[in-house]
Amino acid sequence: MYRIKITRGIIVRLATVAIFLLLSIASFVFAGYLFIEANSTYIFALACAFLILAAFAGFFNVYASLCYFRSYFYDQYIDKITAGLKPLTKFPTVAVMMPVYNEEPQMVKKNLSKLIEMNYPKDKISYYLLDDSTKKEITKNLREFCKKSGITFIHRENRSGCKAGALNYALKVCNEEFIAIFDADESLIDKNFVKDLLPYFGDKSLSYIQTEKRYSKGNLFSEAVDLFDAFFFKFIQPHRALNNTAIFAGSCGIIRTSYLKKLKGFPEYVIEDTFFSLESDLHNYKSLYIPKVYALGIPIVTYSALVRQQWRYNYGDTQFISYYFKRSMKEKKIPFMSNLDYWSHGFGLNYLSIMLLLFTGLSIFISFSALPLTHLTLSNLLEKTYITRDLEIFGGIAFVLSFIAPVVLTRIYFGSYKKGFMVFALNFALAIIRAKAAISAILKKDPLANWTRVSGKPKRNILTAIVNTKFELGLSALLVSLGYIAYLLSNVAGFVWLSAYGILYLSSTIFLYKYG
């Protein structure tokens, strides 16, 4: 049981829950309006489609509300565990591993140099550089550095399994009791990483610990991108940790080697960390999340880099959906909350992309249907003959809330309206590329995005922006054009609805042009 004390934090979270629930209720009521006004099979079909989408959106809104609210109590949970820790009387052996693939050597050497300064007995900690680079000059440079620094250098000619393959290859020669993993771009900011976390492994059933991951300071764009991770680590990860489904996020974490070997290493998928987390859970091992930042990654300062990252994430999440259903069918019983966490994780980015596109398409059909979306006036809102049509207002409420809720919540939790709007716009900007990644995963195509890379300092090249966002630009132009047609037909609601969507999809071109 948690001690519930009325504080500003609990009030803010309750307000957050209320906003999401109101958004869900408004969507369902508007679906009801569509059914009431349906006077043909066509409009009835639109009502059914909108209800289905509203149900999916409602599920994620309620789940988000649950995460926001429960995250408030995580500090109590982790403080109780920490209070019961016993100090280390002997120091287990630890392997610190850094997988790299054609990374900038200077960056790798700089971050490795910080890692080897870890505050831990030198005879109990070893360092491994797992090099999958295909460029000989990079491999030679890193090999020489490792030799001078006492770091075990492991190079693979065959990059089978990507990052998971490199870690599994190293696992064959690793005899340390624990493995700590850091990505090449992560710079250690707290030397007590290992010393702080190992006492938690006094719980013999604990498989891994994940710490909070964040990026270092960059530009306005990178700070908005950082909020993608911040929302996950501040709200979703604590909620999941309470259910023993905390996700191992691939780095800035420690794994018990013996359990990893029992699981036969990392599943060799694009997002191997998520698959490993599931396998660990299904084998009845525990996991833990520590909400503290020990290392900072290099900020994502270009839109192209973000697209490649999101492509990989959504490709992997789509693979995970299929993998999870196959694995869950073999398990006799998986707790309801665990199922909820894994379903929402697998469908999360697909929801943000495919659902947005479906809502967009549906908005076109509704706007140009025979529904009386613009005939209701303030003077007849309360007239008896219009009482069922009053439900139309909830469509406007849902529309407005879907726009302002993310922005307002970002201001409340992270202190910035501007970043909140950028995060909101980025979901529309990335919708098509995420959807393409999901389709590629289903078709088992190459997991790499077909996206022109803009290297070096970002340049404002409008032609590059147009070519690389032609689908988003085409959709934007279509929506704005239809919005204008709606305006000519005196359909004000359709004009606002479609034009707003058109501008949001245009943000993909704007982001690529401005940030490269």
Give the whole-number percent of the chain exceeding pLDDT 90: 42
Residue 270, SS3 per DSSP: coil
For 104, how many CA atoms within 13 A lie in the half-sphere containing its CB? 8
**Most confident of the ranges 253-267, 305-319, 350-364:** 253-267
* Amino acid 507: pLDDT: 94
Amino acid occupying residue 458? P
State the pLDDT at residue 374: 44
Q: If you average pLDDT over residues 36-47, what whole number do you get?
A: 82
Task: Give Cβ neighbours of residue 266 (< 8 Å, ≥ 6 apart).
Answer: 164, 167, 168, 260, 272, 273, 275, 276
User: Measured between alpha carbons, how far is 183 from 99 in angstroms, rounded to an integer?
Assistant: 6
Q: Which tokens belong to 285?
A: 């091992």
The pLDDT tens digits of the residues spanning 201-222 come to 999 999 999 999 999 988 888 9
Higher pLDDT pick, 202 / 160: 202
pLDDT digits (tens, 9 = 90+) for 174-184: 999 999 999 99
Domains of the chain from N-terminus onward: 8-72+349-515 (no CATH), 89-301 (3.90.550.10)
Confidence check: pLDDT of 382 > 80? no
In this predicted structure, the answer to whether residue 459 has a pLDDT above a threshold of 70 is no
| The predicted structure's pLDDT at residue 455 | 47
Among 21-25, 94-98, 117-121, 370-374, the least confident range? 370-374
Give the pLDDT of residue 452: 43
8 A C-beta contact, residue 214 and residue 132: no
Q: How confident is the model at residue 7 (pLDDT cuts 50, 70, 90)?
A: low
Winning range, highest mean pLDDT, from 57-61, 76-80, 361-365, 374-378? 76-80
Which amino acid is located at 190 in the chain? D
- What pLDDT was estimated at residue 391? 52
Question: pTM for this structure?
Answer: 0.86
Mean pLDDT of 145-167: 91
- Contact (CB, 8 A) for 158 and 166: no
Name the residue among 259, 257, 252, 260 with its Cα closest to residue 233: 252
Residue 165: is its pLDDT beyond 50?
yes
pLDDT, average across residues 259-264: 95
Residue 94 CA to residue 454 CA, distance in Å, equals: 39
Contact 256, 186 (CB under 8 A): no
More confident residue, 366 or 361: 361
User: What one-character-per-residue DSSP string does 280-305 give?
Assistant: HHHTT-EEEEEEEEEEEEPP--SHHH
Residue 459's identity, in one-letter code, is K
Give me 411's structure tokens: 């201001």
Tens of pLDDT, residues 467-482: 888 999 999 999 999 9
> Could you read off the pLDDT of 403-458 as tens digits, one per residue?
777 777 777 777 778 888 888 899 899 999 999 888 888 888 766 555 444 444 55
Mean pLDDT in residue range 31-44: 80
**pLDDT at position 385 over 70:** no
Cα 497 from Cα 358, distance rounded (Å): 14
pLDDT band for position 347 (cuts 50, 70, 90): confident
pLDDT at 262: 95
The confidence score (pLDDT) of residue 231 equals: 86
**What does the pLDDT look like over 83-139, one tens digit per residue?**
989 888 899 999 999 999 999 999 999 999 999 999 999 999 999 999 999 899 999
Share of the chain above pLDDT 70, in %: 90
Q: Return the pLDDT at 159.
A: 81
Amino acid type, 466: I
- Which residues are bridge partners to 509 per DSSP? none
* Token couple for 459: 């340049």
More confident residue, 394 or 86: 86
Q: What is the mean pLDDT of the chain?
A: 85
What confidence tier does 255 reach under pLDDT thresholds 50, 70, 90? very high
pLDDT at residue 453 in the model: 40
Q: From CA 476, how far away is CA 499, in angstroms rounded?
A: 8
